[in-house]
Chain A
Amino acid sequence: MKLTDEERGMRDGAEGEAVVAAMDLLIRYGEALGAERLVDTRNVAGTMTQPSPAKAKLVEEGGWARAYAVINLDCDREIEIPRMKVPTCQLQHGLGQDAAGLTAYPAQSIELQGSAENYFSERGVNILATCTPYQVGNLPVRGEHVAWMESSAVVYANSVLGARTNCEGSASTGAASLTGKIPYWGNHVPENRFATHVVRADVGIDTFQEWGMFGYFVGESVEEARPAVIGSLAQPDLADLKHFGAATATSGGVELFHMPGVTPEAPTLDAAFGGSAIPEPITYGPRERRWVYDMLNGQGTSTDVDFVLLGCPHASLDQVARIAQLLEGRRLHADTELWVMTPGALRTMADRNGYTRIITEAGGHVLTDSCPAMSKAAPPGTRVFATDSAKQAHYLPAILGIEAWFGTLDECIDAAVTGQWRGGLRA
Protein backbone atom coordinates (compact mmCIF):
# COMPACT_ATOMS: atom_id res chain seq x y z
CA MET A 1 0.00 0.00 0.00
CA LYS A 2 1.30 3.45 -0.87
CA LEU A 3 1.71 5.72 2.15
CA THR A 4 2.14 9.49 2.16
CA ASP A 5 5.04 11.09 4.04
CA GLU A 6 2.64 12.00 6.83
CA GLU A 7 1.39 8.39 7.06
CA ARG A 8 4.93 6.96 7.08
CA GLY A 9 5.77 9.34 9.91
CA MET A 10 2.74 8.18 11.88
CA ARG A 11 3.69 4.56 11.27
CA ASP A 12 7.23 5.26 12.48
CA GLY A 13 6.25 6.97 15.72
CA ALA A 14 5.91 10.70 14.97
CA GLU A 15 2.56 10.80 16.81
CA GLY A 16 3.22 8.30 19.58
CA GLU A 17 2.84 4.61 20.31
CA ALA A 18 -0.95 4.36 20.01
CA VAL A 19 -0.80 5.88 16.52
CA VAL A 20 1.97 3.42 15.59
CA ALA A 21 -0.35 0.57 16.61
CA ALA A 22 -3.24 2.15 14.73
CA MET A 23 -1.17 2.54 11.55
CA ASP A 24 0.09 -1.03 11.87
CA LEU A 25 -3.50 -2.31 11.97
CA LEU A 26 -4.59 -0.07 9.10
CA ILE A 27 -1.68 -1.25 6.94
CA ARG A 28 -2.34 -4.94 7.66
CA TYR A 29 -6.04 -4.39 7.00
CA GLY A 30 -5.56 -2.29 3.87
CA GLU A 31 -3.09 -4.73 2.36
CA ALA A 32 -5.34 -7.71 3.12
CA LEU A 33 -8.20 -5.93 1.37
CA GLY A 34 -5.98 -5.07 -1.59
CA ALA A 35 -6.33 -1.31 -1.04
CA GLU A 36 -3.78 0.91 -2.80
CA ARG A 37 -3.83 3.68 -0.22
CA LEU A 38 -5.56 5.21 2.78
CA VAL A 39 -8.05 8.08 2.66
CA ASP A 40 -8.58 10.90 5.15
CA THR A 41 -11.69 10.89 7.30
CA ARG A 42 -13.02 13.24 9.96
CA ASN A 43 -16.04 11.21 11.02
CA VAL A 44 -15.69 7.92 12.87
CA ALA A 45 -18.54 5.93 14.44
CA GLY A 46 -17.27 2.98 16.42
CA THR A 47 -17.62 1.14 19.67
CA MET A 48 -15.45 1.13 22.77
CA THR A 49 -17.78 1.23 25.74
CA GLN A 50 -19.92 -1.87 25.10
CA PRO A 51 -19.26 -4.33 27.95
CA SER A 52 -18.39 -7.96 27.25
CA PRO A 53 -16.82 -10.73 29.33
CA ALA A 54 -13.60 -10.53 27.26
CA LYS A 55 -13.45 -6.76 27.73
CA ALA A 56 -14.12 -6.93 31.47
CA LYS A 57 -11.12 -9.21 31.80
CA LEU A 58 -8.87 -6.85 29.82
CA VAL A 59 -10.01 -3.86 31.88
CA GLU A 60 -9.22 -5.78 35.05
CA GLU A 61 -5.73 -6.53 33.70
CA GLY A 62 -4.80 -3.08 32.48
CA GLY A 63 -7.69 -0.65 32.53
CA TRP A 64 -9.44 0.85 29.50
CA ALA A 65 -6.12 1.52 27.79
CA ARG A 66 -5.53 -2.23 27.66
CA ALA A 67 -9.07 -2.91 26.39
CA TYR A 68 -8.70 -0.27 23.66
CA ALA A 69 -5.25 -1.57 22.64
CA VAL A 70 -6.39 -5.17 22.25
CA ILE A 71 -9.93 -4.73 20.98
CA ASN A 72 -9.78 -1.45 19.08
CA LEU A 73 -6.19 -1.66 17.79
CA ASP A 74 -5.40 -5.41 17.84
CA CYS A 75 -2.26 -4.57 19.81
CA ASP A 76 -0.90 -6.46 22.85
CA ARG A 77 1.65 -3.81 23.83
CA GLU A 78 1.05 -1.57 26.80
CA ILE A 79 0.21 1.84 25.37
CA GLU A 80 -1.39 5.07 26.49
CA ILE A 81 -4.51 6.10 24.61
CA PRO A 82 -4.41 9.78 23.60
CA ARG A 83 -7.32 12.03 22.66
CA MET A 84 -9.03 10.94 19.45
CA LYS A 85 -7.50 12.75 16.48
CA VAL A 86 -10.77 13.20 14.58
CA PRO A 87 -14.43 13.49 15.64
CA THR A 88 -15.55 10.09 16.91
CA CYS A 89 -18.80 8.84 18.34
CA GLN A 90 -19.80 5.78 20.33
CA LEU A 91 -22.61 3.84 18.66
CA GLN A 92 -25.15 1.76 20.60
CA HIS A 93 -23.70 -0.21 23.50
CA GLY A 94 -25.11 -2.09 26.47
CA LEU A 95 -28.20 -1.19 28.47
CA GLY A 96 -27.75 1.85 30.68
CA GLN A 97 -28.86 3.06 34.08
CA ASP A 98 -32.44 3.60 32.82
CA ALA A 99 -32.82 -0.18 32.36
CA ALA A 100 -31.40 -1.11 35.77
CA GLY A 101 -33.65 -3.64 37.48
CA LEU A 102 -35.84 -4.26 34.43
CA THR A 103 -33.92 -7.38 33.39
CA ALA A 104 -31.32 -9.80 34.61
CA TYR A 105 -28.74 -7.68 32.75
CA PRO A 106 -25.82 -7.48 35.21
CA ALA A 107 -25.44 -4.32 37.27
CA GLN A 108 -21.64 -4.73 36.91
CA SER A 109 -22.01 -4.31 33.15
CA ILE A 110 -23.89 -1.04 33.60
CA GLU A 111 -21.18 0.09 36.00
CA LEU A 112 -18.37 -0.99 33.66
CA GLN A 113 -20.01 0.92 30.82
CA GLY A 114 -20.28 4.02 33.01
CA SER A 115 -16.56 3.91 33.70
CA ALA A 116 -15.88 3.46 29.97
CA GLU A 117 -18.02 6.49 29.17
CA ASN A 118 -15.92 8.59 31.54
CA TYR A 119 -12.63 7.32 30.12
CA PHE A 120 -13.57 7.77 26.46
CA SER A 121 -15.47 11.06 26.92
CA GLU A 122 -12.24 12.48 28.32
CA ARG A 123 -10.57 11.38 25.08
CA GLY A 124 -13.07 13.16 22.89
CA VAL A 125 -15.53 10.41 22.08
CA ASN A 126 -19.12 11.65 21.82
CA ILE A 127 -21.33 9.14 23.60
CA LEU A 128 -24.25 9.24 21.16
CA ALA A 129 -25.07 5.70 22.31
CA THR A 130 -27.29 4.86 19.38
CA CYS A 131 -27.31 2.70 16.26
CA THR A 132 -28.69 5.78 14.44
CA PRO A 133 -26.09 8.56 14.82
CA TYR A 134 -27.68 10.22 11.78
CA GLN A 135 -30.78 10.93 13.90
CA VAL A 136 -28.90 12.86 16.55
CA GLY A 137 -26.56 15.25 14.84
CA ASN A 138 -23.99 13.08 13.09
CA LEU A 139 -25.10 13.62 9.52
CA PRO A 140 -22.27 13.21 7.02
CA VAL A 141 -22.68 15.02 3.71
CA ARG A 142 -22.76 13.54 0.24
CA GLY A 143 -19.35 12.33 -0.92
CA GLU A 144 -17.78 12.56 2.55
CA HIS A 145 -15.45 9.69 3.48
CA VAL A 146 -16.44 8.34 6.87
CA ALA A 147 -15.49 5.25 8.90
CA TRP A 148 -18.63 3.81 10.43
CA MET A 149 -19.68 0.52 11.82
CA GLU A 150 -23.21 -0.72 12.63
CA SER A 151 -24.59 -2.25 9.46
CA SER A 152 -27.90 -0.36 9.56
CA ALA A 153 -26.08 2.98 9.95
CA VAL A 154 -23.57 2.11 7.21
CA VAL A 155 -26.29 1.33 4.67
CA TYR A 156 -28.13 4.53 5.65
CA ALA A 157 -24.98 6.68 5.35
CA ASN A 158 -24.03 5.26 1.95
CA SER A 159 -27.47 5.03 0.40
CA VAL A 160 -29.67 7.74 1.87
CA LEU A 161 -26.97 10.32 2.62
CA GLY A 162 -24.52 9.53 -0.19
CA ALA A 163 -21.57 9.48 2.24
CA ARG A 164 -18.88 6.86 1.66
CA THR A 165 -18.09 4.15 4.14
CA ASN A 166 -17.42 0.46 4.29
CA CYS A 167 -18.88 -1.64 7.05
CA GLU A 168 -16.04 -1.12 9.51
CA GLY A 169 -15.41 -2.95 12.76
CA SER A 170 -14.24 -2.17 16.30
CA ALA A 171 -10.57 -2.40 15.36
CA SER A 172 -10.65 -0.42 12.11
CA THR A 173 -12.72 2.38 13.66
CA GLY A 174 -10.44 2.36 16.70
CA ALA A 175 -7.46 2.90 14.39
CA ALA A 176 -9.31 5.50 12.29
CA SER A 177 -10.14 7.58 15.39
CA LEU A 178 -6.48 7.97 16.29
CA THR A 179 -5.23 8.61 12.74
CA GLY A 180 -8.04 10.11 10.68
CA LYS A 181 -7.33 7.40 8.07
CA ILE A 182 -9.14 4.38 6.65
CA PRO A 183 -8.35 2.13 3.65
CA TYR A 184 -9.48 3.62 0.33
CA TRP A 185 -11.31 0.54 -0.87
CA GLY A 186 -14.80 -0.74 -1.59
CA ASN A 187 -17.50 1.88 -1.13
CA HIS A 188 -14.95 4.73 -0.95
CA VAL A 189 -14.14 4.25 -4.65
CA PRO A 190 -16.72 5.89 -6.96
CA GLU A 191 -16.78 3.09 -9.55
CA ASN A 192 -17.63 0.57 -6.83
CA ARG A 193 -20.81 2.43 -5.95
CA PHE A 194 -22.91 1.66 -9.02
CA ALA A 195 -25.80 -0.78 -8.77
CA THR A 196 -25.30 -4.43 -9.65
CA HIS A 197 -28.88 -5.76 -9.43
CA VAL A 198 -32.43 -4.52 -9.92
CA VAL A 199 -35.17 -5.59 -7.55
CA ARG A 200 -38.68 -4.59 -8.61
CA ALA A 201 -41.61 -4.47 -6.20
CA ASP A 202 -44.85 -5.56 -7.83
CA VAL A 203 -46.77 -5.13 -4.58
CA GLY A 204 -47.25 -1.76 -2.93
CA ILE A 205 -44.42 -0.77 -0.57
CA ASP A 206 -46.37 1.83 1.32
CA THR A 207 -46.14 1.17 5.06
CA PHE A 208 -43.34 0.79 7.62
CA GLN A 209 -43.97 -2.96 7.71
CA GLU A 210 -43.93 -3.28 3.90
CA TRP A 211 -40.59 -1.44 3.74
CA GLY A 212 -39.10 -3.83 6.28
CA MET A 213 -40.36 -6.95 4.50
CA PHE A 214 -39.20 -5.66 1.12
CA GLY A 215 -35.76 -4.91 2.59
CA TYR A 216 -35.55 -8.39 4.05
CA PHE A 217 -36.32 -9.84 0.60
CA VAL A 218 -33.79 -7.58 -1.12
CA GLY A 219 -31.01 -8.62 1.28
CA GLU A 220 -31.89 -12.29 0.91
CA SER A 221 -31.82 -11.91 -2.91
CA VAL A 222 -28.66 -9.89 -3.50
CA GLU A 223 -26.56 -10.78 -0.39
CA GLU A 224 -23.57 -8.38 -0.40
CA ALA A 225 -24.35 -6.78 -3.76
CA ARG A 226 -25.66 -3.30 -4.56
CA PRO A 227 -29.32 -3.32 -5.51
CA ALA A 228 -31.33 -0.63 -7.27
CA VAL A 229 -34.92 -0.94 -6.10
CA ILE A 230 -37.83 0.10 -8.29
CA GLY A 231 -41.53 -0.60 -8.72
CA SER A 232 -44.56 0.22 -6.58
CA LEU A 233 -42.70 2.30 -4.03
CA ALA A 234 -44.56 4.99 -2.11
CA GLN A 235 -42.56 8.03 -0.94
CA PRO A 236 -40.57 6.72 2.05
CA ASP A 237 -39.71 8.74 5.15
CA LEU A 238 -36.66 8.47 7.43
CA ALA A 239 -38.15 5.65 9.51
CA ASP A 240 -39.12 3.65 6.41
CA LEU A 241 -35.60 3.86 4.95
CA LYS A 242 -34.05 3.12 8.34
CA HIS A 243 -36.18 -0.05 8.56
CA PHE A 244 -35.64 -1.01 4.91
CA GLY A 245 -31.84 -0.60 5.04
CA ALA A 246 -31.51 -2.41 8.36
CA ALA A 247 -33.46 -5.35 6.92
CA THR A 248 -31.27 -5.53 3.78
CA ALA A 249 -28.22 -5.67 6.03
CA THR A 250 -29.78 -8.39 8.19
CA SER A 251 -30.86 -11.04 5.68
CA GLY A 252 -27.93 -10.07 3.46
CA GLY A 253 -24.90 -7.83 3.66
CA VAL A 254 -26.14 -4.80 1.72
CA GLU A 255 -24.06 -1.68 2.40
CA LEU A 256 -25.39 0.48 -0.41
CA PHE A 257 -28.68 0.55 -2.30
CA HIS A 258 -30.08 2.93 -4.84
CA MET A 259 -33.66 4.09 -5.08
CA PRO A 260 -34.06 6.13 -8.26
CA GLY A 261 -35.57 9.52 -7.55
CA VAL A 262 -35.06 9.15 -3.80
CA THR A 263 -31.40 8.44 -3.00
CA PRO A 264 -28.81 11.05 -4.01
CA GLU A 265 -26.63 8.99 -6.34
CA ALA A 266 -29.56 7.69 -8.36
CA PRO A 267 -31.55 10.48 -9.97
CA THR A 268 -32.54 7.77 -12.50
CA LEU A 269 -32.16 4.01 -12.84
CA ASP A 270 -29.59 4.59 -15.60
CA ALA A 271 -27.57 6.80 -13.27
CA ALA A 272 -27.62 4.07 -10.60
CA PHE A 273 -25.85 1.79 -13.10
CA GLY A 274 -23.47 4.49 -14.31
CA GLY A 275 -24.55 3.94 -17.89
CA SER A 276 -23.84 0.18 -17.85
CA ALA A 277 -26.41 -2.34 -19.07
CA ILE A 278 -29.31 -2.78 -16.63
CA PRO A 279 -29.88 -6.43 -15.69
CA GLU A 280 -33.25 -8.18 -15.67
CA PRO A 281 -35.06 -7.40 -12.43
CA ILE A 282 -35.59 -9.79 -9.57
CA THR A 283 -39.28 -9.47 -8.77
CA TYR A 284 -41.00 -9.10 -5.41
CA GLY A 285 -44.63 -10.08 -5.77
CA PRO A 286 -47.37 -11.49 -3.51
CA ARG A 287 -45.65 -14.88 -3.27
CA GLU A 288 -42.30 -13.40 -2.18
CA ARG A 289 -44.06 -11.04 0.22
CA ARG A 290 -45.83 -14.01 1.83
CA TRP A 291 -42.51 -15.90 2.01
CA VAL A 292 -40.86 -13.05 3.93
CA TYR A 293 -43.81 -12.68 6.28
CA ASP A 294 -43.86 -16.41 7.01
CA MET A 295 -40.09 -16.47 7.47
CA LEU A 296 -40.20 -13.67 10.05
CA ASN A 297 -43.24 -15.21 11.72
CA GLY A 298 -42.02 -18.80 11.53
CA GLN A 299 -40.33 -18.50 14.90
CA GLY A 300 -43.41 -18.57 17.07
CA THR A 301 -46.27 -20.83 18.02
CA SER A 302 -47.61 -19.37 21.26
CA THR A 303 -49.81 -16.29 20.90
CA ASP A 304 -49.27 -15.27 24.54
CA VAL A 305 -47.00 -12.26 24.15
CA ASP A 306 -44.78 -11.41 27.17
CA PHE A 307 -42.76 -8.63 25.65
CA VAL A 308 -43.12 -6.02 22.91
CA LEU A 309 -40.03 -4.33 21.51
CA LEU A 310 -40.22 -1.18 19.39
CA GLY A 311 -37.42 1.01 18.08
CA CYS A 312 -35.03 -1.16 16.06
CA PRO A 313 -33.11 0.64 14.68
CA HIS A 314 -33.64 3.25 17.43
CA ALA A 315 -36.99 4.98 17.05
CA SER A 316 -37.30 8.44 15.54
CA LEU A 317 -39.12 11.09 17.55
CA ASP A 318 -42.02 10.67 15.13
CA GLN A 319 -42.17 6.93 15.88
CA VAL A 320 -42.12 7.59 19.64
CA ALA A 321 -44.92 10.13 19.18
CA ARG A 322 -47.06 7.58 17.31
CA ILE A 323 -46.50 4.98 20.01
CA ALA A 324 -47.58 7.50 22.64
CA GLN A 325 -50.65 8.42 20.61
CA LEU A 326 -51.70 4.75 20.36
CA LEU A 327 -51.17 4.18 24.10
CA GLU A 328 -52.86 7.33 25.37
CA GLY A 329 -55.34 6.39 28.09
CA ARG A 330 -54.64 2.66 27.75
CA ARG A 331 -52.91 0.23 30.03
CA LEU A 332 -50.57 -2.66 29.17
CA HIS A 333 -51.67 -6.21 29.91
CA ALA A 334 -50.50 -7.29 33.37
CA ASP A 335 -48.18 -9.96 31.94
CA THR A 336 -46.76 -7.95 29.05
CA GLU A 337 -43.81 -5.58 29.01
CA LEU A 338 -43.17 -2.86 26.43
CA TRP A 339 -39.82 -1.28 25.65
CA VAL A 340 -39.31 1.57 23.22
CA MET A 341 -35.65 2.04 22.28
CA THR A 342 -34.57 5.54 21.18
CA PRO A 343 -31.36 7.62 21.27
CA GLY A 344 -30.75 9.52 24.52
CA ALA A 345 -31.03 12.86 22.72
CA LEU A 346 -34.46 11.96 21.35
CA ARG A 347 -35.52 10.61 24.72
CA THR A 348 -34.91 14.11 26.05
CA MET A 349 -37.25 15.47 23.40
CA ALA A 350 -39.79 12.72 24.13
CA ASP A 351 -39.69 13.73 27.81
CA ARG A 352 -40.20 17.37 26.89
CA ASN A 353 -43.13 16.58 24.61
CA GLY A 354 -44.85 14.34 27.16
CA TYR A 355 -44.51 11.16 25.06
CA THR A 356 -42.44 9.44 27.72
CA ARG A 357 -45.06 10.21 30.36
CA ILE A 358 -47.87 8.71 28.27
CA ILE A 359 -45.89 5.55 27.50
CA THR A 360 -44.77 5.20 31.12
CA GLU A 361 -48.28 5.75 32.49
CA ALA A 362 -49.49 2.94 30.20
CA GLY A 363 -46.88 0.70 31.83
CA GLY A 364 -44.20 0.83 29.14
CA HIS A 365 -40.58 1.97 29.23
CA VAL A 366 -38.73 4.39 26.99
CA LEU A 367 -35.10 3.25 27.04
CA THR A 368 -31.86 4.41 25.44
CA ASP A 369 -28.36 3.24 24.56
CA SER A 370 -29.01 -0.35 23.47
CA CYS A 371 -31.56 -3.01 22.55
CA PRO A 372 -32.39 -6.55 23.71
CA ALA A 373 -30.25 -8.07 20.94
CA MET A 374 -27.17 -5.97 21.76
CA SER A 375 -27.49 -6.58 25.50
CA LYS A 376 -28.80 -10.15 25.26
CA ALA A 377 -31.47 -9.11 27.71
CA ALA A 378 -35.25 -9.05 27.90
CA PRO A 379 -37.71 -8.81 30.80
CA PRO A 380 -37.37 -11.86 33.10
CA GLY A 381 -39.37 -14.86 31.94
CA THR A 382 -39.86 -13.65 28.37
CA ARG A 383 -40.80 -16.57 26.11
CA VAL A 384 -42.60 -14.79 23.29
CA PHE A 385 -41.90 -11.33 21.96
CA ALA A 386 -43.48 -9.15 19.29
CA THR A 387 -41.87 -6.39 17.27
CA ASP A 388 -42.42 -4.16 14.25
CA SER A 389 -38.75 -4.56 13.26
CA ALA A 390 -37.68 -7.16 10.69
CA LYS A 391 -34.12 -6.92 12.04
CA GLN A 392 -35.02 -7.56 15.67
CA ALA A 393 -37.44 -10.36 14.67
CA HIS A 394 -34.58 -11.99 12.77
CA TYR A 395 -31.93 -11.72 15.48
CA LEU A 396 -33.60 -11.97 18.87
CA PRO A 397 -34.90 -15.57 18.69
CA ALA A 398 -31.36 -16.81 17.94
CA ILE A 399 -29.80 -14.62 20.63
CA LEU A 400 -32.29 -15.24 23.45
CA GLY A 401 -33.91 -18.52 22.43
CA ILE A 402 -37.41 -16.99 22.45
CA GLU A 403 -40.31 -16.97 19.99
CA ALA A 404 -41.03 -13.97 17.77
CA TRP A 405 -43.95 -12.26 16.08
CA PHE A 406 -43.39 -9.60 13.46
CA GLY A 407 -46.18 -7.18 12.61
CA THR A 408 -47.35 -3.60 12.31
CA LEU A 409 -47.07 -1.00 15.05
CA ASP A 410 -50.84 -1.26 15.62
CA GLU A 411 -50.58 -5.04 16.02
CA CYS A 412 -47.67 -4.67 18.44
CA ILE A 413 -49.52 -2.14 20.57
CA ASP A 414 -52.58 -4.40 20.51
CA ALA A 415 -50.37 -7.26 21.74
CA ALA A 416 -48.95 -5.06 24.49
CA VAL A 417 -52.45 -4.14 25.67
CA THR A 418 -54.15 -7.55 25.32
CA GLY A 419 -51.18 -9.88 25.88
CA GLN A 420 -52.25 -11.71 22.72
CA TRP A 421 -50.79 -11.81 19.22
CA ARG A 422 -53.63 -11.22 16.78
CA GLY A 423 -51.61 -10.07 13.80
CA GLY A 424 -51.80 -11.27 10.23
CA LEU A 425 -50.65 -10.26 6.79
CA ARG A 426 -53.09 -7.74 5.33
CA ALA A 427 -54.43 -8.59 1.87
Chain B
Amino acid sequence: MTELRGRGIVPGVVEGEALVTHDAISGFGGIDVATGTVIEPRHELFGVCFTGKVLVFPGAKGSSGWSGFFQSTRLMGTAPAAMVFRVITTKAVLGAIVTRVPTVVEVTPNPLETIKTGDFVRVDGTTGIITILTPASGGGVSPNEKGPGAPHLD
Protein backbone atom coordinates (compact mmCIF):
# COMPACT_ATOMS: atom_id res chain seq x y z
CA MET B 1 0.00 0.00 0.00
CA THR B 2 1.34 3.38 -1.00
CA GLU B 3 0.71 6.25 1.34
CA LEU B 4 0.75 9.93 0.38
CA ARG B 5 0.65 12.79 2.86
CA GLY B 6 -0.79 16.22 2.53
CA ARG B 7 -2.96 18.79 4.29
CA GLY B 8 -6.61 17.99 4.75
CA ILE B 9 -8.84 20.99 4.10
CA VAL B 10 -12.28 19.37 4.19
CA PRO B 11 -12.60 16.66 6.87
CA GLY B 12 -14.01 13.17 6.43
CA VAL B 13 -12.87 9.79 5.14
CA VAL B 14 -13.94 8.16 1.89
CA GLU B 15 -12.79 5.23 -0.24
CA GLY B 16 -13.23 5.16 -3.97
CA GLU B 17 -11.80 4.78 -7.42
CA ALA B 18 -9.38 7.47 -8.52
CA LEU B 19 -9.89 9.57 -11.64
CA VAL B 20 -6.66 11.40 -12.46
CA THR B 21 -6.20 14.24 -14.93
CA HIS B 22 -3.21 16.42 -15.73
CA ASP B 23 -5.45 19.17 -17.11
CA ALA B 24 -6.87 21.88 -14.86
CA ILE B 25 -10.66 21.73 -14.62
CA SER B 26 -13.05 24.54 -15.49
CA GLY B 27 -16.41 24.75 -13.65
CA PHE B 28 -18.51 27.04 -15.85
CA GLY B 29 -18.34 25.64 -19.38
CA GLY B 30 -16.13 22.83 -18.13
CA ILE B 31 -18.53 20.45 -16.39
CA ASP B 32 -22.17 19.48 -16.72
CA VAL B 33 -23.62 19.44 -13.21
CA ALA B 34 -26.66 17.33 -14.13
CA THR B 35 -24.47 14.39 -15.23
CA GLY B 36 -21.20 15.07 -13.37
CA THR B 37 -19.30 15.02 -16.65
CA VAL B 38 -16.43 17.05 -18.08
CA ILE B 39 -17.69 18.87 -21.19
CA GLU B 40 -14.71 21.01 -22.24
CA PRO B 41 -13.85 19.71 -25.76
CA ARG B 42 -10.06 19.99 -25.43
CA HIS B 43 -9.95 18.42 -21.93
CA GLU B 44 -8.22 15.12 -21.26
CA LEU B 45 -11.40 13.95 -19.47
CA PHE B 46 -13.85 15.18 -22.13
CA GLY B 47 -17.01 13.12 -21.77
CA VAL B 48 -15.84 11.36 -18.59
CA CYS B 49 -18.06 11.25 -15.48
CA PHE B 50 -16.46 12.05 -12.12
CA THR B 51 -19.47 11.25 -9.93
CA GLY B 52 -18.43 9.10 -6.97
CA LYS B 53 -14.77 9.18 -8.01
CA VAL B 54 -11.75 10.49 -6.13
CA LEU B 55 -10.94 13.36 -8.45
CA VAL B 56 -7.18 14.01 -8.65
CA PHE B 57 -6.38 17.12 -10.68
CA PRO B 58 -3.88 19.98 -10.92
CA GLY B 59 -6.33 22.74 -9.96
CA ALA B 60 -9.20 24.96 -11.02
CA LYS B 61 -9.25 27.26 -14.01
CA GLY B 62 -11.67 29.60 -15.69
CA SER B 63 -14.70 31.33 -14.28
CA SER B 64 -15.37 32.19 -10.65
CA GLY B 65 -18.47 30.03 -10.98
CA TRP B 66 -16.20 27.05 -10.16
CA SER B 67 -17.30 26.62 -6.57
CA GLY B 68 -20.95 27.15 -7.43
CA PHE B 69 -20.83 24.53 -10.17
CA PHE B 70 -19.25 21.92 -7.90
CA GLN B 71 -21.71 22.88 -5.14
CA SER B 72 -24.46 22.14 -7.66
CA THR B 73 -23.03 18.65 -8.23
CA ARG B 74 -23.51 18.09 -4.49
CA LEU B 75 -27.10 19.34 -4.65
CA MET B 76 -27.84 17.26 -7.76
CA GLY B 77 -26.15 14.10 -6.48
CA THR B 78 -23.40 14.05 -9.11
CA ALA B 79 -20.44 15.16 -6.98
CA PRO B 80 -17.07 13.44 -6.85
CA ALA B 81 -16.42 11.41 -3.68
CA ALA B 82 -13.27 13.32 -2.78
CA MET B 83 -10.86 15.86 -4.21
CA VAL B 84 -7.07 15.95 -4.36
CA PHE B 85 -5.45 18.91 -6.09
CA ARG B 86 -2.08 20.61 -6.41
CA VAL B 87 -2.57 24.32 -6.90
CA ILE B 88 -4.27 26.18 -4.07
CA THR B 89 -6.65 28.78 -5.44
CA THR B 90 -9.71 30.40 -3.95
CA LYS B 91 -11.85 28.75 -6.63
CA ALA B 92 -10.71 25.19 -5.89
CA VAL B 93 -10.58 25.59 -2.09
CA LEU B 94 -14.02 27.17 -1.82
CA GLY B 95 -15.30 24.62 -4.33
CA ALA B 96 -14.08 21.73 -2.17
CA ILE B 97 -15.66 23.26 0.95
CA VAL B 98 -19.10 23.76 -0.58
CA THR B 99 -18.99 20.36 -2.32
CA ARG B 100 -18.49 18.97 1.21
CA VAL B 101 -16.26 16.07 0.17
CA PRO B 102 -13.00 15.02 1.89
CA THR B 103 -10.22 17.05 0.30
CA VAL B 104 -6.44 16.94 0.58
CA VAL B 105 -3.95 19.43 -0.86
CA GLU B 106 -0.15 19.95 -0.76
CA VAL B 107 0.36 16.21 -1.20
CA THR B 108 3.73 14.46 -1.50
CA PRO B 109 4.78 12.59 -3.47
CA ASN B 110 3.07 14.29 -6.42
CA PRO B 111 -0.40 12.71 -6.53
CA LEU B 112 -0.71 13.39 -10.28
CA GLU B 113 2.22 11.03 -10.87
CA THR B 114 1.68 8.58 -8.01
CA ILE B 115 -2.04 7.94 -8.19
CA LYS B 116 -3.35 6.32 -11.39
CA THR B 117 -6.86 6.35 -12.75
CA GLY B 118 -8.59 3.20 -11.53
CA ASP B 119 -6.56 2.90 -8.31
CA PHE B 120 -8.80 2.23 -5.33
CA VAL B 121 -7.82 4.82 -2.73
CA ARG B 122 -8.76 6.07 0.71
CA VAL B 123 -8.78 9.84 1.21
CA ASP B 124 -8.72 11.09 4.79
CA GLY B 125 -9.49 14.78 4.74
CA THR B 126 -9.01 15.00 8.50
CA THR B 127 -5.42 13.66 8.73
CA GLY B 128 -4.42 14.51 5.14
CA ILE B 129 -3.37 10.92 4.42
CA ILE B 130 -4.18 9.30 1.06
CA THR B 131 -3.71 5.52 0.79
CA ILE B 132 -3.63 3.57 -2.45
CA LEU B 133 -5.45 0.42 -1.31
CA THR B 134 -5.55 -1.47 -4.61
CA PRO B 135 -3.63 -0.31 -7.67
CA ALA B 136 -5.53 -0.36 -10.94
CA SER B 137 -5.09 -3.63 -12.92
CA GLY B 138 -2.09 -4.69 -10.87
CA GLY B 139 -0.40 -1.32 -11.03
CA GLY B 140 0.81 -1.43 -14.62
CA VAL B 141 -1.53 1.22 -15.93
CA SER B 142 -0.55 4.29 -17.87
CA PRO B 143 -1.21 7.58 -16.09
CA ASN B 144 -3.83 8.60 -18.58
CA GLU B 145 -5.95 5.49 -18.74
CA LYS B 146 -9.55 6.30 -18.13
CA GLY B 147 -11.20 2.94 -17.74
CA PRO B 148 -13.92 1.34 -19.82
CA GLY B 149 -16.27 3.48 -21.82
CA ALA B 150 -13.94 6.46 -21.87
CA PRO B 151 -13.70 8.46 -25.08
CA HIS B 152 -10.53 8.99 -27.08
CA LEU B 153 -7.58 10.98 -25.80
CA ASP B 154 -6.12 13.91 -27.65
Contact = CB atoms under 8 A, between A and B. Distances in A.
Interaction A to B: yes
Interface of A: 25, 28-29, 31-34, 47, 52-54, 57-58, 70-71, 74, 149-151, 154, 166-172, 185-186, 223-224, 249-250, 252-253, 299, 373, 394-395, 397-399
B132 to A, nearest CB: 24
A253 B97 contact: no
A224 B59 CA distance: 9
B62 A250 contact: yes
Contacts of A52: 72
Interface in B63-94: 63-68, 71-72, 75-76, 87-91, 93-94
Given A223-B24, A224-B61, A399-B29, A171 B41 contact: no
Contacts of B59: 224, 253
Contacts of B41: 299, 397-398
Contact of A151 (B63, B71, B94): B63
A25 B71 CA distance: 14
Contacts of A28: 97
B72 A167 contact: no
B64 A54 contact: no
A171 B72 contact: no
Given A149-B64, A168-B90, A252-B61, A398 B71 contact: no
A397 B62 CA distance: 15
Contacts of B100: 74
A29 B10 CA distance: 10
Interface in B25-41: 28-30, 33-34, 39-41
Contact of B64 (A53, A74, A150): A150
B97 A32 contact: yes
B45 interface: no
A398 B97 contact: no
A58 to B, nearest CB: 8
Contact of A253 (B60, B95, B98): B60
A23 to B, nearest CB: 14
B68 A170 contact: yes
Contact of B93 (A32, A54, A70, A398): A32
Given A32-B96, A33-B88, A224-B89, A154 B71 contact: no
A166 B72 contact: no
A168 B94 contact: yes
Contacts of B98: 74, 169, 171
A185 B64 CA distance: 16
A57 B75 CA distance: 10
Interface residues of B, number: 37
Contact of B91 (A25, A57, A169): A169
B136 interface: no
B102 to A, nearest CB: 12
Nearest to A250: B62
A29 B93 contact: yes
Interface in B1-54: 9-10, 24, 28-30, 33-34, 39-41
B71 A253 contact: no
Contacts of B33: 54
Nearest to A182: B90
Contacts of B97: 25, 28-29, 32, 74, 171
B29 A169 contact: no
23 contacts: A28-B97, A29-B94, A32-B93, A33-B90, A33-B93, A57-B75, A58-B75, A151-B63, A151-B64, A154-B64, A168-B90, A169-B90, A170-B71, A172-B67, A172-B90, A172-B94, A186-B90, A224-B87, A224-B89, A249-B62, A253-B60, A397-B41, A398-B39
Contacts of A223: 24, 61
A303 B72 CA distance: 36
Nearest to B94: A169
Contact of A395 (B29, B61, B66): B29
Contacts of B24: 223, 253
Contacts of B91: 167, 169, 253
Residue among A28, A32, A224 with most chain B CB within 10 A:
A32
A174 B20 CA distance: 32
A169 B95 contact: yes
Residue among B28, B63, B93, B95 with most chain A CB within 10 A:
B63
Contact of B71 (A33, A53, A71, A185): A71
Given A169-B98, A171-B97, A224-B89, 17 more contacts: A25-B97, A28-B97, A29-B93, A32-B9, A33-B88, A33-B90, A54-B71, A54-B75, A54-B76, A151-B63, A154-B64, A169-B67, A170-B67, A223-B24, A250-B62, A253-B59, A395-B28
B61 A71 contact: no
Given A25-B97, A74-B97, A168 B64 contact: yes
A169 B61 contact: no
B10 A32 contact: yes
A224 B62 CA distance: 9
B66 A169 contact: yes
